[in-house]
Structure 1
Amino acid sequence: MIEKEYYRLDDLKHRFKMTESDVHYLIAEKNVPPCFYMPKTTFIIGGWQKSDFIGYANVNYEGLIAIPQPFVKELANKRKVLPYHYSLLNKAKIQQIDTDYDCELPLPNNYIQGWKAKDLSQINWPTIPAKLYPYVAPTIKHTFKDLLMTFAKDEVGKTAAAKRFDDSFGETPKEELRPIYKTFLFSDICIRHEDLVNCGIITVRENTSPAPLLSDANLRKLENEFEDLLAAIILSSPKKLTAKKIHRILCEECEREEDKRHFDTNNILLGEDQGVISWRDKYRNNKERSYLQSSLDNVISTVKSKIGKA
């Protein structure tokens, strides 16, 4: 399978046997950062000066974005989040439009507190802060103020209503900058390959010789993934392996972390306890099955016969 820049939940399940619950745990424990794929969208990129966002340039971007940690926490708790700002993760996919402030409201305003024109080439950060490009909209307070004034009988009443409102809430600007915010669901999550490597889910291994392949005819004779596993072990050795040796190999596989197993690439082995090998049978609704060493001897003999190694 090809190595991807990032994996969605279905990829994580099929490639790495990671359930949605596993992903939720890793994110909640801050072991991996969640990302989201953003289709082509216009952003204002910039930097932060304390709590003020200073714009640099207008850009188009299509690719992965990250969200600040407080929004990650909300995502883990509520399974959805509506972030107010982002980090663009792939600088190579940013297309600069211009470095002009061209929003219709003057600076500073509720959305952009300042502007320092800066070309993308002048920004050396690995990830770049960004906000969605906004539009001009009436403020909620001013809309409510206008609504109250409609109940007045005449102009004197409207003036009095407006004054009472301003005395209570302060003078309210008529317009503000507001983006079309996007809600992200937990099911939208992407996890980058490099983050899976960093937390040990994926191990970068040296090249090894491929496992010997079964013929199609022999492959069809095997009944389940456990028999596939036994066949891979048997075929890996030029010497005839005893049932005791195969049992020892299975025990060693059980002790290894799932991504470091040599033979159990489908991670069906659940563990070993006092010689009893437990495994998950996906063909029977992931039912747990187990073999004593004595019963395992018979299964090994059957598999050897099916693959012509008896």
Structure 2
Amino acid sequence: MRLAAALALLAMGAPAMAAPMTYAEFREQVHQPPAPGPILAYGTDPLQHVELWKPAGKGPFPVVLMIHGGCWQTSVAKADIMHALAADLMKRGIAVWNIEYRGVDVPGGGYPGTFEDVAAAADMLGRDGPKLGLDTSHVVAVGHSAGGHLALWLAARPKIAKTSVLWSAHPLPIAGVVSAGGLPDLEDAKVKAAEACGPDTIDKLVGPKTDTHPDVYADTSPVELAPSRVPQFIVSGDVDPISKPEYAQGYALIATAKGDHPIPENIAGAGHFELIAPAGSAWSYQLQLIDRLFHPRPR
């Protein structure tokens, strides 16, 4: 009977899985509210700014440093892609420091500008955050796609060599990272994300090899900077066509061998953009991860 039932099911075919949400569907379906302000400049370029999403009340408020994706390209996405998530966190009593930055496709972006922008925005949070009613003693970074790479890079920034133009004496400490659909191994992503982001995107991001910058990944790729000793959740949708779960698992294996303890998290039925759709179960799960980073469990 069991064999007959199994054969009957095979004859009918397995239930079809829903296709992952496309970027166009995400833009159409997910309402992005306007930023409440203030908009804070950390540089002179119009893209060099941060949106502060701050709950009502006196504070100090816990703060999520948020970084959008878009294949590191300004023409693909800007900070407004994260507005719905920022609004949801603000509603829950968490302030959001939502970073805009110059992508590789605009003047000043690429290497080192894209990294310098994100670093400057983070360090402004450390410098000015307390005056704005923010608790900067335990900052959690949340990034999606290219922003997941940049969030992990911020956590690893203290490991950058002094010989690099990206070295900083007093980088903002990051207490934990949620990288959603991120690309933490840039050398790997150069091949595996070429179709999604373009064949020369990673080259523009890391810059050319020079006498003073012979290893272009040494100061740009989180896997090369490991161990950061920062708690990390590397979140993947199990049907994500852009940042597949094996990318996270590969990063986790290398980083663990170097002494880090990243935790890969696979979300069933989620694609790339379901990870930043606040009404879905993928975001609900990531909220739990963010809470765990704000309230670490004793070992």
Which of the five TM-score ranges fits, normalised by the shorter chain?
under 0.3
Instruction: State the TM-score, normalized to the length of structure 2.
Output: 0.18
Higher strand share: 1
